[in-house]
Amino acid sequence: MQNQTPIKTFESYSSSGLHMICDIKEIQNEKLLNSLEELKTILDHICQKQEYHILQKTEHQFHPQGCTILYLLSESHISIHTFPEKNYIALDIYTCRDYSDDTVYHEIYDFLVESLEAKREKPIIFRRNFC
């Protein structure tokens, strides 16, 4: 029998987790904006470091430029949409982890900004509340 991720119940939780929405602008590492493989390497690093469980990956390369990547996680999802003509990435991470604060998401954001050589702004991070 394979090890399976235990089913998590949220009976004692007031929140279903944190959600981060990022507008990553003025990206200097322009080659990443069209590189599915390099972007997936960045996302894989995030998932490995945070111990997110990847259930499925899907991606699409647009022509002449741009791409979309979606990681379905047992914790929820990560999505990334690139707009090379604007040196811009829209990124969304939502997990059902019970983080005490948003420090982890700020670390993820810092890693993304450094990897993409982008302008540092403030990501939108909010708690998804049940009530």
Q: Confirm whether 81 is a catalytic residue.
A: yes
Q: From the candidates 45, 96, 106, 131, which is the catalytic residue?
A: 96
User: Is there a catalytic annotation at residue 22?
Assistant: no
Q: Which of 15, 16, 79, 81 is catalytic?
A: 81
Residues 13 and 30: their CA atoms lie apart, in Å, by 41
Q: Are 29 and 117 in contact (CB under 8 A)?
A: yes
Cβ(88)–Cβ(23) below 8 Å: yes
Nearest to 128 by CA among 47, 14, 9, 8: 14
* Residue linked to tokens 């991070």: 125
Q: Active site residue: 63, 76, 106, 115, which one?
A: 76
Residue 76 designated active-site? yes
Which residue in 47, 18, 38, 12 sits closest to 117, CA to CA?
38
The set of catalytic residues is 76, 81, 96
